[in-house]
Amino acid sequence: MLTEVTATRYVTPLREGGSLPGIVEADDLGTYVMKFTGAGQGRKTLVAEVICGELGRRLGLRVPDLVTIQLDPVIGLSEPDQEVQELLKASGGLNLGMDFLPGSLGFDPLAYEVSAAEAGKVVWFDALINNVDRSWRNPNMLVWHGDLWLIDHGATMIWHHNWPGAAASAAKPYDASDHALAPFGPDVAAAAAELAPLVTEELLTEVAADVPDEWLVDEPGFDSTDALRRSYVEALLPRAATIHERITLNPPTKSRPSQAPGWLTEHATPWPHAPKKHAQTDEKDARR
């Protein structure tokens, strides 16, 4: 079970997030990035955040703490933005919170070096959960106190959108050519050797148990929330054993524009290519 807190103040929307997450303060004096049950992306996004976030943390990857947040929409009454007002109104009850990392920076490959070992673990983990949202365009990683942190696991486990086809979908390969850490030469074989044995039925059952019942009820084809939890376990367990054999990684290319401000990148250690090259967009990337 995740810790449950109650929102006491809606601080501000995070405009860079597609689902319009907001920063809220809670009664435990914590500050959280809140993902709303009323957001257009739907509650399955929140289920994915919990299962994958908690799984990643248990595998030793850095994921900010997750909590559930009780929201009384009345706390947003003074919010002037109508879109935010409507989101709050549609999200009374239990929402998801991720510990806010103050002063963190969005990951940029020019400003931050990642070892092949760490890159391998992240790519392997993303392959396991079928994360389509950690590309160089939208890395969904933060750098905080010099370490890499993983956020935003909402666009994962595509199979939970079509349970009858889940086993076939979870058996599919993973294309990591666009992955934000692909250029760091990820050592996927070493990651699989270390992490795959940790992904046991017990561990998966434990992370599935962290999902609140409210986000699982009334799923067509399931007569209980535990039966649905079981399906998450059954999709991930066989995938963990063999997914490393089905990961596509192109040869590293760094000819992509940096998204970091100049003050951040101009003194960065160039690795393994010169920064000037990164400022250009090559023809292939321009066509994407």
Ligand X SMILES: Nc1ncnc2c1ncn2[C@@H]1O[C@H](COP(=O)(O)OP(=O)(O)OP(=O)(O)O)[C@@H](O)[C@H]1O
Which is closer to Mg ion, CB of 151 or CB of 188?
Answer: 151
Sheet bearing 141-144, strands edge to edge = 105-106, 141-144, 147-150
In angstroms, what CA-CA distances link 39 with 35, 81, 253?
8, 15, 36
Mapped onto helix, strand or coil, the DSSP state of residue 22 is strand
Contacted entry of ligand X, Mg ion, none for residue 64, CB cut-off 5 to 8 Å set by kind: ligand X
* CB closer to ligand X, 156 vs 265: 156
Which residue number is nearest to Mg ion in terms of Cβ?
152
Give me the least distance between CB of 266 and ligand X, in Å please: 22
| 98 contact choice in ligand X, Mg ion, none (CB below 5 to 8 Å, kind-dependent) | ligand X
Query: Token pair for residue 95?
Result: 């929402």
Which one of ligand X, Mg ion, none interacts with residue 59, CB within 5 to 8 A by kind?
Answer: none
Tokens of 90: 């549609």
* Cβ nearer to Mg ion, comparing 152 with 187: 152
140 binds Mg ion (CB under 5 A): yes
The least distance separating ligand X from the CB of residue 102, rounded to whole angstroms, comes to 7
Contact flags string 147-186 toward Mg ion, x per CB under 5 A: -----x----------------------------------
Residues ≥6 apart with Cβ < 8 Å to 153 = 48, 49, 51, 52, 53, 56, 63, 129, 131
CA–CA separation, 75 vs 79, rounded Å?
9
- In angstroms, the CA 137 to CA 180 distance is 8
154 and 46 Cβ atoms separated by less than 8 Å: yes
CA gap 37, 142 in Å, rounded:
24
Min dist. Cβ of residue 244 to Mg ion (A)? 25
For the bound state, the minimum distance from the C-beta of residue 198 to Mg ion, rounded and expressed in Å, comes to: 26
Q: Name the site residues for ligand X (rule: CB under 6 A).
A: 14, 16-19, 21, 33, 64, 98-101, 104, 106, 133, 138, 140, 142, 151-152, 154
Nearest alpha-carbon partner for 107 in 97, 119, 99: 119
Structure tokens at 240: 């963990």
User: How many residues contact Mg ion, by CB under 5 A?
Assistant: 2
Measured on CA atoms in the order 143, 149, 114, 130, is the torsion positive or negative? negative
The item of Mg ion, ligand X, none sharing an interface with residue 13, based on CB under 5 to 8 Å by kind, is none
The window from 3-11, 139-147, 171-179, 238-246 that contacts Mg ion (CB under 5 A) reads: 139-147
Q: Give me the residues that bind Mg ion (CB under 5 A), please.
A: 140, 152
